[in-house]
């Protein structure tokens, strides 16, 4: 049997993530939504979803006593971060006048509104938050891209984007006035800004790939 733990810290679209994972998993997989540290430690794979503001996310992680366990399990077993669950892997977010995050990776989370678009002709028609479908350019190979065509469209809802110091972390890039890292990966960690649970068949394929990924 394989156990997937979806981390529940009071934020995130947990029901949709659970249902999507349940849909793509086989009969040997058990999926649990939990904030219990031992259950998370015992799981074979970890999903770290999230939505909302960075400040609220970090506060709730602290309230649920999960600030230390997330970096630990992320380095030990297959780990999928989704949306805010990707952003707080960085050192610091510009949201809410600046919030320290988990610091698993060096880098920042920046506001689309505070950067100049690379293409002048798009500046006026880009809306914040980015809400809707956009392409992800798979800039490196990864097991979670298996059977997903390059430049496939995924569903996004966000006003901030990740900028890692180490560009080799980027496994997916998206153009929204500027090219930003919409997916990062290293060792046992894969994190994506888009919502695979809301991204139709290709999102389900990514989640299916995760249920079969050994972290290598």
- Cite the active site residues: 83, 195, 197
3-state SS assignment for residue 96 = helix
Q: Which of 75, 85, 25, 22 is nearest to 212 (CA)?
A: 25
Q: Which of 95, 167, 161 is nearest to 134 (CA)?
A: 161
Cβ neighbours of residue 172 closer than 8 Å, sequence gap 6 or more: 136, 137, 138, 139, 181, 182, 183, 184, 192
Q: Which of 16, 11, 105, 6 is nearest to 56 (CA)?
A: 11
CA geometry: angle 103, 140, 119, nearest 5 deg? 80
Cβ atoms of 85 and 49 closer than 8 Å: yes
């Amino acid at each position: 049997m394989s156990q997937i733990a979806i981390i529940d810290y009071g934020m995130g679209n947990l029901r949709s993530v659970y249902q999507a994972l349940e849909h793509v998993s086989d009969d040997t997989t058990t999926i649990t939504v939990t904030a219990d540290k031992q259950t998370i430690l015992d799981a074979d794979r970890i999903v770290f979803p999230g939505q909302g503001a960075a400040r609220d996310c970090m506060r709730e992680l602290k309230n649920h006593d999960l600030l230390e366990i997330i970096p630990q399990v992320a380095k030990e077993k297959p780990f999928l971060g989704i949306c805010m669950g990707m952003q707080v892997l960085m050192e610091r977010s510009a949201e809410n006048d600046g919030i320290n995050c988990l610091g698993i990776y060096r880098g920042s989370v920046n506001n689309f509104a505070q950067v100049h678009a690379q293409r002048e002709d798009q500046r006026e028609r880009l809306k914040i938050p980015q809400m809707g479908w956009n392409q992800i350019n798979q800039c490196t190979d990864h097991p979670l891209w298996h059977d997903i065509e390059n430049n496939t469209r995924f569903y996004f809802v966000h006003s901030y984007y990740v900028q890692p110091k180490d560009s080799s972390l980027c496994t997916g890039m998206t153009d929204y006035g500027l090219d930003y890292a919409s997916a990062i990966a290293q060792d046992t960690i894969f994190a994506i800004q888009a919502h695979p649970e809301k991204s139709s068949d290709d999102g389900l394929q990514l989640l299916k790939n995760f249920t079969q990924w050994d972290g290598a």
